[in-house]
Amino acid sequence: MVSASIFPMIAVLVLMSLILTTNVIADHDRSTIPTTLEGPFKPVTVPLDKSFRGNAVDLPDTDPRVKRRVSGFQPEQISVSLSSTYDSVWISWITGEFQIGYHIKPLDPKTVASIVRYGKLKSPLTHRTTGYSLVYDQLYPFQGLQNYTSGIIHHVRLKGLEPNTLYYYVCGDPSIAAMSETYHFRTMPLSNPKSYPSRIAIVGDLGLTYNTTSTVSHMITNHPDLVLLVGDVCYANLYLTNGTGADCYSCSFPDSPIHETYQPRWDYWGRYMQPLLSKVPIMVVEGNHELEEQAQNQTFVAYSSRFAFPSKESKSRSTFYYSFNAGGIHFIMLGAYISYNKSGDQYKWLKRDLAKVDRGVTPWLVATWHAPWYSTYTAHYREAECMRVAMENLLYKYGVDVVFNGHVHAYERSNRVYNYTLDPCGPVHITIGDGGNREKMAKTHADEPGNCPEPSTTPDKIGGFCAFNFTSGPAAGKFCWDRQPDYSAFRESSFGHGILEVKNETHALWTWHRNQDLYEIAAGDIIYIVRQPDICPVEVEPH
């Protein structure tokens, strides 16, 4: 048993580590942190640490961090998300218990009100607003599979907020004495070229494993103002409806009549994340593990129900794609699992949204979706090629600065690239699908001998097959390069998360933090991403 006296010593060591880390980065700022202006960089692959465990173990339902700690209709799974501009946020929570079994009866959302009281002082909370609530089901048409119905999910939008301001809030239904304790959040800064969130945490393919807990602990240590989750949330679809799970669903359950999912893991995830997400806004985009097919061919129901999205505020008709501002950054969240063809609603929305971006107000343009276009790992290699073919030109035309993706369970940063060619005006693509989920880490690369996948294994369920052999460049006539591609600047297999710190109109510091570096003073990857609007003019639509 660890003596209680050792905990202050541990706290001091952690604090000293953080001070050292801050000082090292400060020293780097003056001299040695590379910038994209020095690129393109010679490709680097960090060799795999032979002691590294590339698989992860899920938290069990007996873990106290995922157990229900409220009673009756008291709020739980409380989270904050942003609207499209600084003056509005969403507060979300769940009341009542979920049900799973063969005979379930959904709760009535009308029985519990959706109320948030809030203000700039902890007491009294002078503002009050109401929202809406819903219940969703996950139903299966086969005997022997258990159905699920959620607790009552509440979404309330707060409006008229001041920029960069701390607000306190409670949520629930005061008429039945079912209110939460007091929480707080900080609004985003005013949108202008001098104003930015201090730190934005970027994470993908998070799951709910012991590795996830390390990733989230590291994120909290970095004190983010905003969390971007680039798809694959809780991996409920690695489980049968009886709660039996496996790293590889198709391997372990090949005879399943439908791809089952164990929905309670969504509730476990919401409970585990509440201490962070009740204070720090999270913005999510869907991944393939949110598909969750059920009766009547319904898909993505849990994803679309549990999170609040600024879809309506950003003129989108879908929870799969939307946009928002965070200070001088305009974020575009795109759907890789909905039509992205030029004749579809998403493409038309994207074109309208990009045309409205005023780079004099939000100089930085960041795009996010789940499946990467420029990953060099064997896993999911060129899987999103049809999406790239459809949309890359549009993103390039409007000068997207950085792209964040998940899906591949490893880390990779590209040189500036467009159409597989080094281009000083192309975006930097960063794959950050290393959050810590139960599926195994990606370790092999498509350019290594024997690791190039068969092209027939890479079709896109939405766009069909677009990943043909390269027609030009060093890999002409081949499906894979025979060495690490020029557009791949840095890659490493490890769990972790990233932090984006936009400093001004032209410079943003990007750091990737590996989970195993808790007491180390060096980031796994660090670079200044530098915009060059003078040599890369952005197309401006006439008004």
Map residue 394 onto helix, strand or coil. helix
Are 295 and 241 spatial neighbours (Cβ–Cβ below 8 Å)?
no
Cβ neighbours for 426, distance < 8 A, ≥ 6 positions apart: 396, 416, 417, 418
Are 530 and 506 spatial neighbours (Cβ–Cβ below 8 Å)?
yes
**Which DSSP symbol is given to 295?**
G
Containing 302, the helix (H) or strand (E) segment is helix 301-306
Long-range contacts of 450-455, Cβ-Cβ distance < 8 Å, separation of 24 or more:
451/378, 451/480, 452/378, 452/381, 452/479, 452/480, 453/378, 453/381, 453/479, 453/480, 455/479
List 153's β-bridge partners, or say none.
94, 134
Are 436 and 212 spatial neighbours (Cβ–Cβ below 8 Å)?
yes
Interatomic CA distance for residues 431 and 380, integer angstroms = 12
Interatomic CA distance for residues 489 and 400, integer angstroms = 18
- DSSP 3-state helix, strand, coil percentages of the chain (rounded to 5)? 20, 25, 55
Q: Out of 289, 380, 429, 497, which one is annotated catalytic?
A: 380
Report CA 397 to chain centroid distance, whole Å.
25
Beta-strand (E) ranges in 14-134? 44-45, 76-82, 89-95, 99-101, 115-119, 127-130, 132-134
- Residue 342 sits at φ, ψ, to 5 deg, of -65, -20
Beta-strand (E) ranges in 96-188? 99-101, 115-119, 127-130, 132-134, 137-138, 147-149, 152-158, 166-173, 178-179, 183-186
Interatomic CA distance for residues 393 and 401, integer angstroms = 13
Of the candidates 516, 495, 435, the one whose C-alpha atom is nearest the C-alpha of residue 206 is 435
- Residue 234 sits at φ, ψ, to 5 deg, of -115, -10
Establish whether 513 is a catalytic residue: no
Cβ neighbours for 51, distance < 8 A, ≥ 6 positions apart: none
Helix segments in 334-384, DSSP class H: 345-356
Q: Mark 390-413 as b/e (b = at least 16 C-beta within 10 Å).
A: bbbeebbebbbbbbbbbbbbbbbb
Q: In the numeric block, which tokens belong to residue 356?
A: 């409205």
Interatomic CA distance for residues 354 and 394, integer angstroms = 9
**Catalytic residue IDs:** 380
